[in-house]
Each structure stands twice: as structure tokens, then as C-alpha cells.
Structure 1
Amino acid sequence: MAPSRSLLCPIAVATSVVSGLLLLTACGGSSAADGGKDGGTLKVGVLFPGSLSDDGFMGSAHLGYQRAAKKHAGTVEFSKVEQVATADYEKALVRFATTSDLVISIGGQTDADVRNVAARFPRVKFAEIGGPADGKPLANLSLYDPQQAEGAFLAGAASALLSKTGTVGFIGGAELPAIVNAAEEYRRGSEAADPDVKVLAPQYVGDFNDVAKAKQSALADFGAGADVLGQVLNLGHKGVAQAAGQRDGALIGGPIAHECGGDPAYAGYVETDIGAEIEYAVDHLVAGDWKAEAVHFGLTFAEPRNDIVLCDTTDPAVGEKLDELKRKITSGEIRTR
């Protein structure tokens, strides 16, 4: 896993809409809010609904944002907002659409709003990262699937193989289609690794960033006999780690994989490079061959981005089983969408 790069521009301070104007931060020149599609410089606006420091989905996406800004410095002007309230998604997207060549929306929770705004701005290109896996592109909207379902399958397999109680569970941030699908794939992965494993009914916190509620959900699962949990959360994963520490349990982290040993609550990490999809969109914008399409990343993509990293396991059979399942996914024998 590449080390974190230093910030290329100040952290976005926008958390809400003030007097109808979003506060934006930009890389490479004047803010997109002040500029426009001028001087031959391409403009890209990115909506991060959550915190860039969540050490999760948003944080992984932001690493790609930084890489893209560095790669295309002088050619592309980037702007972003973070921690935007649900009620303000549409306003943020409209603000970007009036000044940008490409608008990128991070997270399936923005799906309805990005589709609405894309339809209103047919001459602007849009990309949504992490929406419904079976969603359909619009004439000016690409859908990029980071294969959370694939990662959840691998997390489920790892959980089952590492469990000592024979019981595992899954906690999702919200009951969105992509997260519900990830929960189902977690179950399938668990049972593919160990047909006798007990998989508790998935829990949905209702907020990807609520540490306290995520901790309550995790404590309930540990109380029901689980000893390893999978999750699709942002800041909320910290609550699961807290619960694991209290109940001698463990969780599978991700999408950013850290060096093992930093927190013994993490039995491993699903590594998913969300930011690679920002780079993909911008690279094609600059090359002039961007198109509205549905792209599924992951193990079956030309450059695999998903993987599973285990910590503190000395049983070679665990790694061998995970490698076998990854080969079956890559070959198409196992399908996770």
C-alpha cells in the first residue's frame, strides 16, 4: 500500500451551503467557484459527502484525487467539497456543474441527486463512484463500481476462516442497494470458505460515520456469539474496533490497508483503491476519450485493485483458501455482483 502523500492543496472546508454558495477549495489555480471553463484548462469538481480523514471510502478516494491533481497539474483544475449534508447534495452538484467539465460524485448515497443533476446539465460529464452495481449510465453519466461486493465476499471468507466461534457478522453504514448487496456477498464469501459457519443477520447503522452507533451494533454481534466482523463503514469502523477491543473480537478493515499491528482489533484488511476511479475518469477526460459507461473495477479489471491482507495468522491453509477463492472470482467461476 503506498504511503499517504502530503496534501496538494488545503483541505476543503465546505460542510454546508452558506447563503446559497458552496465554499470550495481548488488545486491548480483559482477556485472553480470563481473561474469557469476558460483558458483551455479543464475543470473537475468532486463531491465527497463524508470526511476525507475517515480512513475509509472517502479517504481512499481522496488519495486518488491527490494523485490525479499531481499528475495533471497545469492541465486540470480540481475543486472539492467534503462533509456535505444529504439535503445539500443537489446544490453541491449543481454548483460544480455550472463551472466544471467533469463532476465526480463519491458514494451510492448520492445516486438519486447525481442522476437528477446530470439530466439537467447534458453538456457536462458526470461520474458516480460506488452507486448501485446494476445501475445504468446516462448519456453523460458514467458509473464506476469499486466492487464493494467483491471486497465483502473476500472479507466474509477471511472472517469465516479466522473465526474461532464459528459465528461472524456484517455491519453496513446504510441500507442502500450497494451495501445490502455487499452484506449478501459477505454471507456468500463466509459460506464459501466454511459451509458450517453461522452468519448473523446484517446490521445497518444508518450513518456511515456514527462511531457510537457502529460500536453498539458491533457489541450486539459480539454478544450474539460472533468473534470476527466485516464492515462497510467510513468513520464508523472505529466504533467496531472499539467494540472488538472490549469483547476480544476482531474486524476486517478497509478499504485502506494499514500495517498490521497498529491496532490488534484488525484481523486483516480488504484493500480497495477507490481513488483509482477518480484517476481513471480524469485520465480519459484529458485524453479526450471519456465516455458514459459502466466500469467494474476489482480483481477482474485490467489492473486489479482489490485484495485481502491478513494479520497474525500462521495457518497456511487460510491464505491458500483465500487465493483459491480469488482465482475463482478472476476466472468467473464465482460472480459477486
Structure 2
Amino acid sequence: MKLAAVTLTGAALALSAAACGGDKVESGDGGGDKKTVKVGLAFDIGGRGDQSFNDAAAAGLDRAKTELNIQTEEISAKPDEPDADKEARLKLLANRGYNPIIGVGFAYTNPVTKVSKEFPNVKFLVVDADQCKVEGANVLGACFSEEQGSFLVGAAAALKSTTGTIGFIGGVNVPLIKKFEAGFAAGAKAAKPDIKILPAKYLTQPPNFDGFKNPALGTDAAKGMLDKNADVVYHAAGGAGIGVINTMGGAKKFAIGVDSDQYNQPALSGVKEFILTSMIKRVDLAVFDFVKSTSDGTFKAGTKAYNLTNDGVGYSTSGGKVDDIKAKLDAFKADIASGKITVPTAP
């Protein structure tokens, strides 16, 4: 059954409104006499509903609510906010008794490091820990080999292109997104050495992070690549990627999604036949694994890798557009998992 929603009151509400940009509290009741675990999740820019990275985290939380006895609170980030706001958000959750707490996105690495020291009895997860490094006996960092999954969709792009020209659009020019670019290019060249890869387009430069949330920027970038004869474009741009996919689909050309299986995203239902595949990043699994480990007492601090060897990254087959090349993609996957192919992490 569903319990009544919990609401913020008094000073906590004022802090939430000022520092957090909104909240959502829900409860799940798994029955029995087990103590309910209160899980706090702080989203990256865009929050639940971005059809990509944050929604992957939300899927993991939703699974935990279904399978475990937990109560949750979700809070979203604001664009271009300082670390102090993220720290305030984490402290708000900790002071309200939420344990464990999840920070979604590499920008939470430093705030979690700081706040975790003030709350040594609270377990923290950083999804996409910066440089795959975290500190503290109560902190776990989830790290992904995005370059490996991107290699596979890069190979798919090259094999399915009919113009011989493909492109990559990154949301914000940061080292994490460079991993997507590097893997994509390596996979494309491995599959078809003579493929033309347009110069990568980054929507914004830090500290401007609109490139992860403004679809109009993705639209303009995709139009530019269509003008240069690209018929397959891969985006790693979060919510801004919606503009990329809609633009490519509108031109009846292929787009490649990211993080979630974007073929199944409601906001893209009108153009899903032009979503070739998506690079799946199992943020949902990382969130669920963490919540489960804190619930059953198996939590271990440090970092946990998600890659092709444990299906922490991969590619989607929804829509059947890559069925004819699946054997080739899976052969590349096996060679990467075995170490026969080493995928670069920088362009």
C-alpha cells in the first residue's frame, strides 16, 4: 500500500525552497516489521523527467520503492548553483533523518565529501564520482565506463550510416563527456575505418551547464550536423539531447540516445522510429544496488565500477534497428570485456 506523503514544514521548507528548487516525498511500504529505510536523493540539473540521466536514477529509486521497505525524498538542483547549495541540500536530507543519501552527478563529489564528514553515520552515494574518486568510510562512488558503451553505439552509427558521415554532440565540455566522444569515435573507426566523423560539438562550456538541459541548443547543433551530411548523430547531452533526437527524427535521420533507453521515453514517442539505439548507462542499477546494500547491511565504501563485464553499460535494441548488426556489436563487446580491445577515455 502507499503511505501518506510526507511534507516539509517550517524552517526546513524555507531552506528547501531557497536552496533546492523543489522537492518530492513519497513512501513505499513493503509490509512486515522491518524498519523503514528513509532514502534521500538529490538530482542533477534537470531532475526527474529529463528523459535521460536523471530518469535513469529515478528508475533505480522507483525499483527500490517497489522491492524494498523504503521512504524517499527527491530534491532537484538549480542551474549554475554553487557547491554550497548542494551541501545545504545534502544537510537538509541528513538532518531530516534520511539515510542513505544519493547525489546524482559528478558535481556532488566535493559536496558529499564535505557533508559526509559531518554525518559519519549516514551512508552516501555519488553517481558518476568525479575521476572515480571518493573519500570517507561512509561514501560510495559509482563509476561507469561510458567509453565502452559509446564504442558499441559508435560502431552501430558507422555500420548504419548511408552517407558515410556521423557526428557527436556533447552537453557540456567536461572530462566525463569526453569519454563518450572518445569511445564513440573509436567504435566507429573500428567498424568502418573510412567513416567520416564530424568535429564534436559541445553545447556549452563550464560553468554554463545549460548544455545538459536546454533542448533548443541540441536542436541547433543537430541542424548544423544535418547541414554537413550527417545521417547518424549520437548525443550525450541529458535533457538538451531531446532537441537532438527530435531534430534528427524530423529530418528522418537516425539519432542515438544516451543513459536511458530513449526509444521508450514518452517525450520522444513521435520520433522513436529514428532512434537507432541508445548507450545504456545503468545508473538505475547503481542506485538500487546502493539502497539495497544499506538496507541489508552489505554496504562497502570506496568505488564500484559499472562496465561491459557486468552489464553496467551497453546498448539498447528497442525498435529492432540494430538487429542486423547485433552479432558484430556483440563481438566488439566480447573483445572489450576480455581486454582484447582497450577503449580510449579521451579523444
Smaller-chain TM-score range? Answer: 0.7 to 0.9
Distance 2:47 2:133 in 1: 25
Q: Shift of the alpha carbon at 1:261? A: 8.4
- Is the CA contact (8 Å cut-off) linking 2:140 and 2:300 kept in structure 1? yes
1:79 matched to 2:86: no
Q: TM-score, normalised by structure 2?
A: 0.80
The one of 230, 251, 255 aligned to 2:255:
251
Map Cα deviations across residues 164-186 of structure 1 (whole Å, 9 max, x no partner).
Answer: 12221111121222111211111
Q: Residues 106-121 of structure 1: matches in 2 within 5 Å?
A: 106-121=104-119
Quickly say closer, same or farther: Cα 1:186–1:132, change in 2 above 3 A: farther
The one of 264, 273, 278 aligned to 1:264:
273
- Is the CA contact (8 Å cut-off) linking 2:149 and 2:308 kept in structure 1? no
What residue number does 2:31 align with?
none
What residue number does 2:316 align with?
308
What residue number does 1:35 align with?
none
What residue number does 1:320 align with?
327
Deviates more, 1:61-70 or 1:144-153: 144-153
- Is the CA contact (8 Å cut-off) linking 1:154 and 1:308 kept in structure 2? no
Q: TM-score, normalised by structure 1?
A: 0.83
Aligned length: 318
Letter in 2 for 1:202: A
Map Cα deviations across residues 156-201 of structure 1 (whole Å, 9 max, x no partner).
Answer: 1111111112221111121222111211111111111111112222
Map Cα deviations across residues 19-38 of structure 1 (whole Å, 9 max, x no partner).
Answer: 56875432338xxxxxxxxx
Q: Residues 156-175 of structure 1: matches in 2 within 5 Å?
A: 156-175=154-173
1:205 partner SS: strand
- Is the CA contact (8 Å cut-off) linking 1:107 and 1:130 kept in structure 2? yes
The one of 71, 92, 95 aligned to 1:95:
92
Q: Shift of the alpha carbon at 1:148? A: 2.4
Quickly say closer, same or farther: Cα 1:51–1:285, change in 2 above 3 A: same
Quickly say closer, same or farther: Cα 1:12–1:178, change in 2 above 3 A: farther
What residue number does 1:42 align with?
37
What residue number does 1:201 align with?
199
> Percent of pairs identical after alignment?
26
Quickly say closer, same or farther: Cα 1:145–1:210, change in 2 above 3 A: same
1:295 matched to 2:290: no
Q: Shift of the alpha carbon at 1:215? A: 0.9
Distance 1:165 1:11 in 2: 54
1:56 matched to 2:52: yes
- Is the CA contact (8 Å cut-off) linking 2:39 and 2:98 kept in structure 1? yes
Structure 2 unaligned segments of length 5 or more: list them: 29-33, 205-210
Distance 2:257 2:339 in 1: 25
What residue number does 1:18 align with?
17
1:159 partner SS: helix
Quickly say closer, same or farther: Cα 1:321–1:220, change in 2 above 3 A: same
Letter in 1 for 2:244: V
The one of 56, 64, 67 aligned to 1:68:
64
Q: Shift of the alpha carbon at 1:105? A: 0.9
Map Cα deviations across residues 36-66 of structure 1 (whole Å, 9 max, x no partner).
Answer: xxx9543221011223112111112111101
- Is the CA contact (8 Å cut-off) linking 1:42 and 1:101 kept in structure 2? yes
Quickly say closer, same or farther: Cα 1:182–1:132, change in 2 above 3 A: farther
1:195 partner SS: coil
1:66 partner SS: helix
- Is the CA contact (8 Å cut-off) linking 1:152 and 1:183 kept in structure 2? yes
1:235 matched to 2:229: no
- Is the CA contact (8 Å cut-off) linking 2:260 and 2:279 kept in structure 1? yes
Letter in 2 for 1:80: E
- Is the CA contact (8 Å cut-off) linking 1:8 and 1:69 kept in structure 2? no
Q: Shift of the alpha carbon at 1:304? A: 5.2
- Is the CA contact (8 Å cut-off) linking 2:255 and 2:275 kept in structure 1? yes
2:272 partner SS: coil
Distance 1:189 1:102 in 2: 38
Map Cα deviations across residues 124-174 of structure 1 (whole Å, 9 max, x no partner).
Answer: 221111233543444322111243222222221111111112221111121
Distance 1:11 1:240 in 2: 38
Distance 1:89 1:20 in 2: 8
Deviates more, 1:17-26 or 1:207-216: 17-26
Letter in 1 for 2:66: K
Q: Shift of the alpha carbon at 1:110? A: 2.8
Distance 2:173 2:118 in 1: 27
